[in-house]
Amino acid sequence: MLRTLQIGKSSDPWSKKIENHWLTPISRLPLWLPVLTLGLVLVFKRLNHYQILLLPNFCAQALLSPVGRILGFKVIWLTDNGKISPSLGKILKKMARLAQAIIAPNQAQEVSYLRLEIVSAKIHLLYPPVVSQSQPAYLEPKTMVLAGDASIEAEEGLGTLLRAASLARDILGNIKLILGGSLAGKSHLDWSTKQLNLNGCVQLAPGESDLWLEEAQIYVLPATSDKAVPFSLAQAMFLGKTLIASDRPSHKEFIEHEKTGLLVSSGDAEALSQAIIRLARDPELLARLSQGGYKFAQERFSRQVFEEKLKMILNQ
């Protein structure tokens, strides 16, 4: 059976999901260990029948690809979502010739490596699977419940979501906003909630579980920057939640306007509130977009699709 040695770790939530669902037995070492031992730990691991060397960040890819190939590992990169400086880009372009495969968990990361003029045939788009504790469900909108990822900074979209929720509540009356995941700034959130008179309407659900999405009908992604898309978007689609997102390029990979969700102008709280109100008043549209997003998620985020593609990459 193939065995994998991973050196370093990814900072990207999408790549982390691929690490967590890797198909072969895997051992993980911090990057400093092979560097400190001048690669001797890699020799030891190779002698112990590790065949695959998984490198999930820029430093590991730049430093250890040559050593891995010399020792006979199959070198696989997992794309990193950090900024690539011109000098680092030149190094990665050269080192990429030594990688047998490069795995990208979404198109945004795929494009960042293609811009380095790496051979496209080496780069494999592999969406991580969604493994949910909840069951997909369409919920009739009695009280309109919105869900948003709390990891988004206030100035990068969370403030827009709070203002939109306040505007929508003025029209719809009863509304609830659940913010889940890792909270970026609680003090600013508390202040904004009070200023917008949203006390009692906003619920925090910290933690990595996707259970906070269960109650919602609509998942809102109001991000105004092109930072990595939260993995909760994939989880929401997989659970059949209707999506509203700002019209950033990274969001359009997942949301086709009027088919798998709604896109609104980035940073426009009025437009976002109108999209919320529209869905609340049109249950048929809410259900149709929910079904479109769920179908999209089944085609891309199922465990079966992920395992078939990863097996093909590992065995080629």
The 10s digit of each residue's pLDDT in 256-278 is: 999 999 999 999 999 999 999 99
3-state secondary structure of 177: strand
For the domain made up of 144-300, give the CATH fold. Answer: Rossmann fold (3.40.50)
Mean of the per-residue pLDDT values of the chain? 90
Of the pLDDT bands very low, low, confident and very high (cuts 50, 70, 90), residue 286 is very high
Nearest Cα to Cα of residue 54 among 36, 31, 84, 33 = 31
Are 287 and 138 in contact by the 8 Å Cβ rule? The answer is yes
Nearest Cα to Cα of residue 290 among 259, 264, 263 = 259
Of the pLDDT bands very low, low, confident and very high (cuts 50, 70, 90), residue 148 is very high
305 burial (CB, 10 Å; 0-12 / 13-18 / 19+) is: middle
| 4-128+303-315 and 144-300 in the same fold | yes
For the CA atoms of the chain, what is the radius of gyration? 21
User: Could you state, in order of their start, the residue ranges of all structural domains in the chain?
Assistant: 4-128+303-315, 144-300
Of the pLDDT bands very low, low, confident and very high (cuts 50, 70, 90), residue 227 is confident
- The better pLDDT of the pair 194, 301 is held by 301
What is the pLDDT averaged over residues 180-202? 83
Q: Is it the case that residue 134 has pLDDT exceeding 90? A: no
Q: What is the pLDDT of residue 187?
A: 76
Strand partners, 6: 28, 54
- The widest CA-to-CA distance across the chain, in whole angstroms, is 68
Which of 3.40.50.2000, 3.90.1150.10, 3.40.50.1470, 1.10.1240.10 is the CATH number of 4-128+303-315? 3.40.50.2000
The conformation of residue 120, written as its DSSP 8-state character, comes to G
